[in-house]
Amino acid sequence: MALNIPSNQKTKKALVIAFCTWWFFWAILQIAMLQDFGMNPMKATVDGLTSMSLLAAFCLLIINNMSYYLPGKEKYLYALLISLTLSALWLFIVKLILKSFYKNDAAYLLSLTQSSGIRYAFAFLMMGCITMLSLLWYTQQEQQENAFRKDDIERLAKDAELNKLRQQLQPHFLFNSLNSISALTGSQPEKARHMIQQLADFLRGTLKKEEQQWISFDEELQYVQLYLDIEKVRFGHRLQTEITYDEPALQMILPALILQPLVENAIKFGLYDTLEEVTIFINAKIIKGNLQLSVQNPFDETTAIPVTGTGFGLTSTKRRLFLLFGRHDLLQIKKDTTQFITEITIPQTA
């Protein structure tokens, strides 16, 4: 699975510069040390550049190898073994190359043999440091990739759950609407035709909004009004609504389709247990910079339909708010003997 992990080009450039600086510093230092031990400048330069160039190549080999294979639990043992092995191989190749250059110089060959231990220790130290640094670097990169992968998986799971919650809200409303259309077809065909048109507009708006995560309250209000128009055909004069809002609230953003299940819940528990006229109150206001929506419906504990919990609409809305904002306190329910009020707060994150 391809991940969108931001590459840090500045860091990579800095590492390349640091490596070149490291190589140049130790090459100069080794040349100077060889001259201090009595070696003439030409031989010291050839020896130093040959040794350090080959050491740099081995270090790059280690770095490249770590990018393809990162040891697990035995990483420190792996670092020790690879440093010991490559240091021995490096020393063998360096001696082979330098001996071919100065095969007739007995004094140099003796010096080369006597310095083998120091050269091996130096190579082991350098390769050990590079191996450990590579381990730390690529381990960090792997952890970063895992973190991005985890974030991607969590985001996809969250989006899938949000989509599922939004889609589950519509079927029972659709069935009720189709039943009402069926009932009106024989007695009031014009009303049935009008309701079909409204239902088509409603579903078209639903499909459009499924592609949008956030919309303005003004857009959400138009959608809710279309939903209420359909419900008013079903319930006739029994359903009355009163919508009030602060003018600036129209431009505030909220998750698409967040208000409709609250209104549907209010209609269900406000009209289903009475034959009288019922008014549903919808209010939007700005509190401390956030959008607060409230839906209020008449409520009579003595005649209310028995339900478990707060109903699927409110439960799913609370879950959706938690997935979006990571908070459990954004949906509040208030009720007394006459009124049932649902309030949701939408933080304005922009």
More confident position, 133 or 18: 133
Q: What is the token pair recorded at 213? A: 């995560």
Count Cβ atoms within 10 A of the Cβ of residue 223 and give its class: 0-12 exposed, 13-18 middle, 19 or more buried.
Answer: buried
CB within 8 A of 119, min separation 6: which ones? 51, 91, 94
pLDDT > 70 in the chain, percent: 85
CA pair distance 95, 116, nearest whole angstrom: 9
DSSP bridge partners of 213: none
Domain that holds residue 213: 169-346
Residue 239 belongs to a domain: yes
Listed range (19-23, 219-223, 235-239) with the worst mean pLDDT: 19-23
Question: Is the predicted pLDDT of residue 343 greater than 90, yes or no?
Answer: yes
Return the amino acid letter for 101. Answer: F
Residues 15 and 146 in one domain: yes
pLDDT at 170: 60
For the chain, give the secondary structure using H, E and C.
CCCCCCCCHHHHHHHHHHHHHHHHHHHHHHHHHHHHCCCCHHHHHHHHHHHHHHHHHHHHHHHHHHHHCCCCCCHHHHHHHHHHHHHHHHHHHHHHHHHHHCCCCHHHHHHHHHCHHHHHHHHHHHHHHHHHHHHHHHHHHHHHHHHHHHHHHHHHHHHHHHHHHHHHCCHHHHHHHHHHHHHHHHHCHHHHHHHHHHHHHHHHHHHHHHCCCEEEHHHHHHHHHHHHHHHHHHHHHHEEEEEEECHHHHHCEEECCCCHHHHHHHHHHHHCCCCCCEEEEEEEEEECCEEEEEEEEECCCCCCCCCCCCCHHHHHHHHHHHHHHCCCCCEEEEECCCEEEEEEEECCCC
Residues 58 and 178 in one domain: no
Residues 53 and 177 in one domain: no
CA pair distance 225, 232, nearest whole angstrom: 10
pLDDT at 310: 45
Residue 144 belongs to a domain: yes
Residues 43 and 137 in one domain: yes
Residues 238 and 208 in one domain: yes
CA pair distance 337, 335, nearest whole angstrom: 7
Residues 250 and 151 in one domain: no
Residues 46 and 174 in one domain: no
pLDDT at 331: 93
Give 140-180 pLDDT, tens digit per residue: 888 888 788 777 777 767 666 666 665 655 666 677 778 87
Residue 2 belongs to a domain: no
Residue 240's pLDDT band (boundaries 50, 70, 90)? very high
Residues 123 and 254 in one domain: no
Residue 163 belongs to a domain: no
Which domain CATH number covers 221?
3.30.565.10
Tokens 């029994």 -> residue: 238
Domain end position, chosen among 125, 158, 191: 158
Listed range (20-29, 103-112, 129-138, 242-251) with the worst mean pLDDT: 20-29
Number of domains in the chain: 2
Question: Stretch 200-216: mean pLDDT, rounded?
Answer: 72
Residue 1 belongs to a domain: no
Cβ atoms of residues 285 and 247 within 8 Å:
no
Give 3-15 pLDDT, tens digit per residue: 443 445 676 677 7
Mean pLDDT of the chain: 80
Residues 121 and 174 in one domain: no
Give 262-282 pLDDT, tens digit per residue: 998 888 888 877 778 899 999
Domain end position, chosen among 133, 158, 183: 158
Listed range (88-92, 229-233, 238-242, 259-263) with the worst mean pLDDT: 229-233
Residue 199 belongs to a domain: yes
Q: What is the token pair recorded at 242? A: 């009163």
CA pair distance 98, 43, nearest whole angstrom: 10
Residues 118 and 174 in one domain: no
Domain end position, chosen among 158, 178, 194: 158
Residue 31's pLDDT band (boundaries 50, 70, 90)? confident
Residues 153 and 174 in one domain: no
Residue 3 belongs to a domain: no
More confident position, 87 or 302: 87
Strands 214-216 and 253-255, by their bridges, are antiparallel
Residues 179 and 272 in one domain: yes
pLDDT at 14: 74
pLDDT at 164: 65
